[in-house]
Structure 1
Amino acid sequence: MSFEKLGLSENSLNAVRRKGFEKPTDIQKEVIPRLLRGDNDIIGQSQTGTGKTAAFALPLIELIDEEIKEVQAIVITPTRELAIQVADEIRSLRGKRRINVLPVYGGQPIGPQIRNLRRGVHIVVGTPGRVIDHIERGTLSLDGVSYFILDEADRMLDMGFIEDIERILRHTSEEKRVLMFSATIPREILRLARRYLKDYEVIRIQDRSLAPELVEQIYFEVRPNKRFSLLCSILDEKDFYGIVFCQTKRETRELASKLKTKGYSVEALNGDIPQKGRERILERFRKGKIRVLVATDVAARGIDVKDLTHVINYSIPQNPEAYVHRIGRTGREGKRGKAITFVAPWESPKLRDIERVARVKIKEMAYPTEYGRRKRDIPMVS
């Protein structure tokens, strides 16, 4: 199927061509026609990196009335980085339409956001806390919102934002359409849907594994005191470009510091770093000036960097949803990637749970047969 058959205008088709999109992804094939022509609410389940943003952005651009200078659509994202990214993607797809898109998020002065809102904004993309802040200040009215988009709903749940989402929803009209997008659909998301969505349909793109098909998934059973040496051997692979996930902010700082002393091109990314500093680090990472990013789940949420070769779970994810989102940073846009998880001997039950819920098979890799170039420096994993 081509984009021409989805019901998009010539303006949107030209924007798609400029972006270099050749044919729609599965989620785009399902969502675009439904949002353009239907009236049902939608829950869309699709892997990370499958074009979910364009799936709702392209129809929104068609449906927004640019002559009405009020907020007609709002997109809620779990993190600042994702809010910026989604806003940029919508702008890149609007073509010649004069649609104003504004990201609103914490960590930056609220004054410029208020001034932009007063000038007239059609689409707001924001994090829950800052959206609520604007609502309570009276600087953001959702009375005219016709489209409410919840992006990465399962991460909203993990990060404790569901009450905030419900609070925002109560400020919107009953006549709006609601779309939720998520890599996984936990029971809590369905409960939220039953409470706030009208006639909705669930679109599930993946039938089997929730993980990206082009990601090779392996794990090492390794004791914590041996993880660093094993990590260094993996980072020494030719053209390594990836993210190393840790559980805590402190661990990201300590690990990045140790890697820097070894000469690796690395930076830590965590919630303690001011927003401008995080944006600078991400920009350097996107340009390849940093080859290794050591991050927490929250800080790395919404990172969309092309051509990442690896994701390394230095700390095993807390749940299967976090695993799916982490490894979705690689294996995107037809490129292959590798996801490597370090598992302590006592963490095997957690690994089995990830495999069962995410419907994946993670292959055990024996060290040092696969990563043996530095084996004189690395003790045998035990």
Structure 2
Amino acid sequence: MRFDELELEESVLDGLDAMNFQETTPVQALTIPLILQGKDIIACAQTGTGKTAAYVLPIINELSKGIHPANAVNAVIMAPTRELAQQIDQQIEGFTYFIPVSAVAVYGGTDGVAWEQQKRGMEMGADIVIATPGRLISHLKMGSADLSKASFFILDEADRMLDMGFFDDIMQIYKCLPKTCQTIMFSATMPPKIRTLAKTILKDPEEVKIAISRPPESIMQTAYICYDAQKIHILEQLFQQKPPERVIIFSSSKMKVKELTSVLKKMKLNAAAMHSDLDQPQRELVMKEFKNGHIDILVATDVVSRGIDINDIKLVVNFDIPHDPEDYVHRIGRTARAGGEGLAITFVAVEEQAKFKQIEDFLEKTIYKIPVDAAFGEAPAYEPELNKRFLKRRGSGRPQGSGKGGNSKGSSSSSRNRNRKNPANTK
């Protein structure tokens, strides 16, 4: 479907034409007409499907008609992270080039000057407020935000916000909105807690489900079944074979991210870390440098796995297994954007095999396992069911016993000793 087939104002279509937006994505074709009809919506669509434009365009369209209050907040868009809030703000700026609709992004991790700018933007009546829950509540408590005239309330990545513990914050903000407010929820997954939230805040909603979260076929998915101590050596070999360019390496802990970044820098590789301990200016600088190509490798926690639109990522490496299959999909979805191709490599240690098998089951496919170079020692067999039962008997931690790994053929205890010497090799 083309955008000019939708009931959008000419000024909105002019902006889309200037940005060379012609064809809608499936989620846009399904949701934009419903939002224009004033219906509450719960939509299941993953990152990369064009969901931001799916709710931003109809909201801008309605605000452009001039029938909403001047000098008042007319739309509230909630986002789980400041990075996603900034990205939404940038898209709105592009779409409103020919339209007198204003927006302000409200998020934490900034100095007093930014706070005052956010406060002034809301007090002057920015049409659209894009906010993280915690910072918006701070402004509400200080009396610098008035949501009593808002007509639209949007939750982007609602599942992520609930995972981050924002349920009470969302409800507190929701209670500050008028009962006539149109509410729109977007979520990549639809677990019971999302259903519960939807029943609480949505009025007779329409449900839109594009497809179950699956990575595009244009991503070549591969894995190494290895010991934990072998991971860094495999990574080093990969970058010796082909110099890294536009690479994201994901790890589940910020401590591991810091250690791994340090090790990569010692290898004379151009790497930078992205994690929650960085303040906002530092995070913005890292993202800017990576997007501009001044950084080859971004080592990150899941803070950048969702909602960040980075083009031309060549390779995604899962240094360890994410917490659930959906997180795996979001991680590797950073590559092969906009119809391109990409490569995803996952390192699977013995104790991670059961979780990796869950990912394969979720994807309903077997991911190709690349043989580990014999120079790094014997690799473990892929026996997820055996290791799952073993871990249950042990109760925790690393499997003990007859495995071999590392740089030499030794016992698994010797691998653990090597891990202690090099913290970047540990989980």
TM-score after normalising by structure 2: 0.83
Residues 63, 256 of structure 1: CA spacing in aligned structure 2 closer, same or farther, 3 A cutoff? Answer: same
Residues 163, 354 of structure 1: CA spacing in aligned structure 2 closer, same or farther, 3 A cutoff? Answer: farther
- Comparing 58-67 and 166-175, the one that deviates more: 58-67
The answer for unaligned runs of 5 or more in structure 1 is: none
Partner of 2:286: 281
- The answer as to 2:197 corresponding to 1:195 is no
- Comparing 38-47 and 95-104, the one that deviates more: 38-47
Instruction: Tell me how far 1:41 sits from its aligned partner.
Output: 1.0
For the 8 Å contact 1:184–1:210, the answer to whether it is kept is no
Identity rate, percent = 39
Residues 351, 54 of structure 1: CA spacing in aligned structure 2 closer, same or farther, 3 A cutoff? Answer: same
Q: Distance in 2 between matches of 1:85 and 1:272?
A: 21
Q: Distance in 2 between matches of 1:291 and 1:163?
A: 39
Residues 3, 47 of structure 1: CA spacing in aligned structure 2 closer, same or farther, 3 A cutoff? Answer: same
- Comparing 331-340 and 81-90, the one that deviates more: 331-340
- The answer as to 2:261 corresponding to 1:259 is no
The residue type equivalent to 2:7 in the other structure is: G
Partner of 1:52: 51
- Choose between structure 1 and 2 for higher RCO, CA contacts under 8 A separated by at least 6 residues: 1
Deviations 1:48-107 (A, max 9, x none): 111111111111111114761111111110101111110110111013211110000001
Instruction: Tell me how far 1:113 sits from its aligned partner.
Output: 1.2
Partner of 1:348: 353
Q: Distance in 1 between matches of 2:83 and 2:246?
A: 20
Q: Distance in 2 between matches of 1:244 and 1:138?
A: 42
Q: Distance in 1 between matches of 2:172 and 2:217?
A: 37
Q: Distance in 2 between matches of 1:44 and 1:112?
A: 32
Instruction: Tell me how far 1:379 sits from its aligned partner.
Output: 4.5
Partner of 1:88: 90
Pairing partner for 2:169 from 164, 170, 192: 164
3-state secondary structure, aligned to 1:102 = strand
- Comparing 169-178 and 276-285, the one that deviates more: 169-178
The residue type equivalent to 2:84 in the other structure is: L
Pairing partner for 1:221 from 222, 225, 229: 225
Instruction: Tell me how far 1:238 sits from its aligned partner.
Output: 5.4
Q: Distance in 2 between matches of 1:235 and 1:100?
A: 45
Q: Distance in 2 between matches of 1:380 and 1:279?
A: 42
Partner of 1:175: 180
- The answer as to 2:204 corresponding to 1:211 is no
- The answer as to 2:29 corresponding to 1:29 is yes
Instruction: Tell me how far 1:346 sits from its aligned partner.
Output: 2.5
Pairing partner for 1:103 from 89, 105, 109: 105
- The answer as to 2:253 corresponding to 1:248 is yes
TM-score after normalising by structure 1: 0.92
3-state secondary structure, aligned to 1:103 = strand
Deviations 1:181-220 (A, max 9, x none): 12111111011101111111221111x5532342222222
3-state secondary structure, aligned to 2:338 = coil
What is the count of residue pairs matched by the alignment? 373
Q: Distance in 1 between matches of 2:175 and 2:358?
A: 36
Which protein shows a greater Rg?
2
Q: Distance in 1 between matches of 2:144 and 2:128?
A: 14
3-state secondary structure, aligned to 1:333 = helix
Q: Which stretches of structure 1, 4 residues or longer, exceed 4 Å deviation after superposition?
A: none
The answer for unaligned runs of 5 or more in structure 2 is: 381-427
Partner of 1:324: 329
Q: Distance in 2 between matches of 1:178 and 1:325?
A: 25
For the 8 Å contact 2:189–2:213, the answer to whether it is kept is no
Partner of 1:75: 77
Instruction: Tell me how far 1:138 sits from its aligned partner.
Output: 1.0
3-state secondary structure, aligned to 1:271 = coil
Q: Distance in 2 between matches of 1:177 and 1:355?
A: 39
For the 8 Å contact 2:77–2:154, the answer to whether it is kept is yes
The residue type equivalent to 1:63 in the other structure is: E
3-state secondary structure, aligned to 1:189 = helix
Partner of 1:6: 6
3-state secondary structure, aligned to 2:303 = helix
Instruction: Tell me how far 1:114 sits from its aligned partner.
Output: 1.0
Q: Distance in 2 between matches of 1:7 and 1:217?
A: 40
